């Protein structure tokens, strides 16, 4: 499955999309995303001070900032990219917290359910994750190990809830 997630600086999940199989490209999911539509509408209505942070796989837009690959060292572009990556670390930490609490989400584990049921498990873990944060149940948010080699798909970094509509 190609799972898209959006989180804030407190690691709260603001959007989760587990509707698409792994064969669907990130940009295709982004283009159909309620988050993209919402951010575009906000920008068109004059909000030019809200942005999402995404990885290099996403297209640059006025509301979606992406890193500058191969920026020469000690340039404004490299400083921007360094700060961008530092802030985007929140989504990686969020992935780590989710996998730490709900081990079935680890990459070497497989959800032995059909696509729809696996999606519901992923959505449920997101809801429980947010409840844990809201009620201060997750104590080790700063101690989560990040697996840089994990093949989880990244997502942008702030947005609006997407609502799951079963087929």
pLDDT digits (tens, 9 = 90+) for 69-124: 899 999 999 999 999 999 889 998 998 888 888 887 877 766 677 888 888 989 99
- pLDDT for the residue 15: 94
pLDDT of residue 146: 46
Distances (CA, A) of 124 to 13, 38, 87, 101, 121: 12, 23, 26, 12, 5
The token duo for 105 is 């989400």
**Whole-number CA gyration radius for the chain:** 16
| CB of 14 closer than 8 Å to CB of 4 | no
Under 8 Å between Cβ of 106 and 150: no
SS3 for 20?
Answer: strand
| 2-27 residue pLDDT tens | 889 999 989 999 999 999 988 899 89
Mean pLDDT of the chain: 81
The pTM of the full predicted model, rounded to 2 decimals, is 0.74
């Amino acid at each position: 499955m190609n799972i898209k997630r959006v989180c804030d600086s407190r690691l709260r999940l603001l959007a989760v999309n587990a509707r698409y199989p792994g064969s669907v490209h990130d940009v295709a999911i982004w283009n159909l995303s309620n988050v993209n539509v919402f951010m575009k509408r906000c920008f068109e209505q004059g909000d030019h001070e809200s942005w999402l942070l995404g990885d290099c796989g996403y297209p640059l837009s006025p509301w979606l900032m992406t890193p500058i690959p191969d920026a020469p060292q000690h340039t404004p572009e490299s400083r921007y990219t360094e700060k961008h990556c530092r802030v985007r670390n929140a989504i990686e930490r969020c992935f780590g917290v989710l996998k730490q609490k709900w081990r079935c989400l680890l990459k070497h584990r497989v959800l032995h359910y059909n696509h729809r049921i696996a999606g519901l498990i992923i959505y449920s873990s997101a809801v429980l994750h947010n409840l844990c944060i809201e009620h201060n149940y997750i104590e080790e948010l700063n101690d989560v190990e990040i697996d840089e080699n994990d093949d989880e798909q990244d997502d942008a970094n702030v947005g609006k809830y997407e609502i799951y509509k079963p087929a």
